[in-house]
Structure 1
Amino acid sequence: MGNKTLIYKQKVLDNLNESYRHLQRIDDSISELQQRYPFPLTANDFGSILQDKQMLAFSDQCIYRFSKLQDCMGAKLFKSILLYQGENVNKPFLDILNQLEAMNILNVDEWFEIRDLRNEIAHDYANHDNVAIEILNAIYKIKNELELTLNTINKIVFKKEFVREI
């Protein structure tokens, strides 16, 4: 392995660790919310969450960490795995996604749904309770798919199961 390969492998590892950290925080916040409110959340559930500062903090953390996770994966991790594989990343993002799909890392259509959800978060959801409920329920549904994507990347690079580092 040349120096570049080791550098790219370290970047993948760093990006994986960051991604797993965000995913763990999502899991933790959902776990806390689930102690009182079963998913999918309802309007009544969210009304109660809004009245409880701690539960509201967990819901905000879930949304924030999802946004950070999607950013990390899309902006850093995907390119680093391709660089590690010796691929050119100076191309449109759709081409990068198609390449990752060809490697059985992700589904392009599903990634665009995840990106759309992330873009919805970028808008001010705080004044729109129905949007916040939809976002939290969507994160709950897709978090396992994100973990599967991270685990697939890990298996490609490290040829073994990855234990989250927090």
Structure 2
Amino acid sequence: MNVPDNLERLRFLVKIVRRESLHLRATDARLFALPLTPERLQAMDSDPAQAEQLDAFVARFARLQDTVGDKFVPTLLQALQEPVGAVIDNLDRAERLGWIVSADGWIEARRLRNQMIHEYVDDLQVLASNLQAGHRYVHVLLKTAQRLIDETARRGWA
């Protein structure tokens, strides 16, 4: 078995992605247990616990997407002695390897992530729509993370 030079980094990322996935899944389930409407978002101004759940969802979504796309994918590519380049090139390669469903979809989710982070959006309908779209994308993000973990484990590196 060929042991990659970045084995410790890979193992660290597996551990982090497992934890981030667990936290995002839990936060997503709590926040979206009830419909996330503009009215509910407005009520969060006077409900710190709900506002914190919203903040946690956005932060955890962004963190997992960053960790998977910007760190795990290139680290695994490097371990496989694949070329590592710009983010879009790495995502295209990850798509060809079957780790992500669509590089374009990943970029679209990245745009959505950036919109969710900017909570100063005055139009609560737009914010609610962005958050609902993020919620719908969570399963794709979690499956992608698991595929990368599985690939690492399959090679005996996890």
Q: Same fold (TM over 0.5)?
A: yes
Q: 1:30, 1:140 within 8 Å by CA — same for their partners in 2? A: yes
Q: Whole-Å Cα distance in 2 between the matches of residues 47 and 69 of structure 1?
A: 27
Residue 73 (structure 1) shift: 1.5
1:68-102 Cα shifts (integer Å, max 9, x gaps): 1121122211111101111121x232221111111
User: For the Cα contact (< 8 Å) 2:21–2:145, is it kept in 1?
Assistant: no
1:136 corresponds, among 113, 116, 131, to 131
Q: Determine if contact 1:63/1:135 at 8 Å carries over to the other structure.
A: no
Per-residue CA distance 1:101-141 (angstroms, 9 max, x = gap): 1101111111111111122234x323433343223212210
Does structure 1 retain, via aligned residues, the 8 Å contact 2:69–2:91?
A: no
Report the counterpart of residue 47 of structure 1 in structure 2.
42
| CA-to-aligned-CA distance 1:11-59 (integer Å, 9 cap, x gap) | 2232232223223222222222244x23xx2112222333211011001
Specify every segment of 5 or more residues in structure 1 that has no aligned partner in the other structure, as ranges.
161-166
* 1:104 correspondence with 2:104: no
CA–CA distance in structure 2, aligned partners of residues 153 and 127 of structure 1: 34
Quick check: 1:66–1:118 contact (8 Å CA) kept in 2? Answer: yes
Tell me if the contact between 1:59 and 1:136 (Cα under 8 Å) persists in the aligned partners.
no
SS at match of 2:94: helix
Amino acid at match of 1:156: E
Corresponding position: 1:20 with 2:15: no
Question: Equivalents in 1 of 2:147, 2:42: separation in Å?
Answer: 38
Amino acid in structure 2 at the alignment position of 1:20 = R
- Pairwise CA distance, 1:147: 1.0
> One-letter code of the match for 2:19?
R
Conserved 8 A contact 2:14-2:149? yes
Match of residue 66 from structure 1: 61
Stretches of structure 2 that go unaligned for 5 or more consecutive residues are none
Q: Tell me, yes or no, if the aligned pair for 2:44 and 2:51 is still in contact at 8 Å.
A: yes
Are 1:152 and 2:150 counterparts?
no
Tell me, yes or no, if structure 1 residue 31 matches structure 2 residue 43.
Answer: no
Percent identical pairs in the alignment equals: 22
CA 1:23/1:130 → structure 2, altered by over 3 Å: closer, same or farther? farther
What is the root-mean-square deviation of aligned Cα atoms in Å? 2.1
**Equivalent residues, number:** 153
Deviates more, 1:125-134 or 1:49-58: 125-134
TM-score (norm 2): 0.84
- 1:136 to 1:24, Cα distance in 2 relative to 1, 3 A: farther
